[in-house]
Copies of this chain bind each other. A is one copy, B any other.
């Protein structure tokens, strides 16, 4: 495969349009429409938050109807979450309006919303933006859409690459948004990945779930799982490759490429995390199973004390050690534990490593990207979680977001 790029490649069969509907923001696009060509295949993952938003409920229902998806309708500025039956009605209304304008069934439209929770979706304004959005449909609209779906994001997130599949060159392009309320429990806030490869439904679904597991489901900013998380993988089948099924060499090649795009987008979300000054990988090794490695990694990644120490570039390794100790693992033998900051061993056999100096730790902490490696010494499983630091700016952004 080619190396991943921030310049979106066109995906044959996907056209994108945007409009400034004035849903919440003024003077910028806040509405996006994806048009998928006939014969496209979709896989989707949604939030596991029990309070999932109205558009999530409607999108799930439309997918389950068996109707082929032809349009994705996305708005920023309003999440249409916590809005009860009225919110469901509004989500249905927007789908019906787009279906009426394009001549498809309402079930062929999947709605997505992101923004403030609990306020009524301004349906009239949204619907009034559909015509201009449809008029602007074009295959090179990826960057515009990546900007239109932003909320507290400071930059759009795009990843694109090409690969060879069954003798044909295929392209993959993905975009994502998200900077806060990030601890995806299925897929992140909003991410859309499309390929022109020809893939069967089971293989596409496996690709998405596998790729999300190591990307969107392995990042956290604040531990707060959104009500609106959604991730879509679309295959338009226009590349002319023989259809990819499960278990083939082509599946492996496609899966690896999708993983790279999803990881790039997931890392871009963490790099753009609200107020973040550092990109932190928490790598837990030598666990009995992957789940306990993740449990330790998330405990460290969510610790406000660890996160503020990183903000201060302070090699305060005692806070990492304390977080590992409270992660809830049974029979944890602390004497078997080693902890590293990048390549510097800070804890050896459960205590400060002999020979460790503050200068060594400081040199690592002065970097903008740091890997914490924690060896549990009780097995062969491992897991990695990516997170950001906790800064004064994070608090200010989230104290000011609605005002």
Contact = CB atoms under 8 A, between A and B. Distances in A.
Interface of A: 48-52, 79, 81-87, 116-118, 180-181, 183, 185, 222-227, 302-305, 308-309, 311-312, 314, 316-319, 321-326, 329, 332, 334, 347, 349-352, 390-392, 394-396, 398-403
Given A223-B302, A324-B51, A332-B50, A81 B318 contact: yes
Contacts of A85: 351
Closest 3 A/B residue pairs (Cβ): A117-B318, A84-B351, A51-B325
Contacts of A117: 316, 318-319, 321-322
A399 B390 CA distance: 9
Contacts of A309: 398-399
B82 A347 contact: yes
Copies of this chain, count: 2
Contact of A50 (B223, B318, B325, B396): B325
Contacts of A326: 48-50, 183, 185, 224-225
Given A82-B352, A308-B399, A311-B399, A51 B334 contact: yes
A267 B302 CA distance: 24
Given A82-B347, A83-B351, A318-B79, A304 B223 contact: yes
B395 A311 contact: yes
Contacts of A83: 351-352
A2 B239 CA distance: 82
A52 B399 contact: no
Contacts of A334: 50-51
B222 A321 contact: no
A118 B351 CA distance: 8
Contacts of A321: 51, 81-82, 117-118, 227
Contacts of A332: 50
Contacts of A116: 318
Contacts of A398: 304-305, 308-309, 312
Contacts of A347: 82
Nearest to A48: B326
Given A83-B352, A223-B302, A349-B84, A118 B395 contact: no
Given A225-B322, A308-B398, A316-B402, 4 more contacts: A84-B350, A391-B395, A392-B399, A395-B395
A46 B265 CA distance: 43
Contact of A392 (B51, B224, B349, B392): B392
A348 B160 CA distance: 44
Contacts of A391: 395
A329 B318 CA distance: 33
A349 B317 CA distance: 45
Contacts of A79: 318
B352 A394 contact: no
A81 B87 CA distance: 52
A123 to B, nearest CB: 16
11 contacts: A48-B326, A50-B332, A51-B322, A82-B350, A181-B305, A222-B303, A223-B302, A226-B322, A304-B398, A308-B394, A308-B395
Contacts of A82: 317-318, 321-322, 347, 350-352
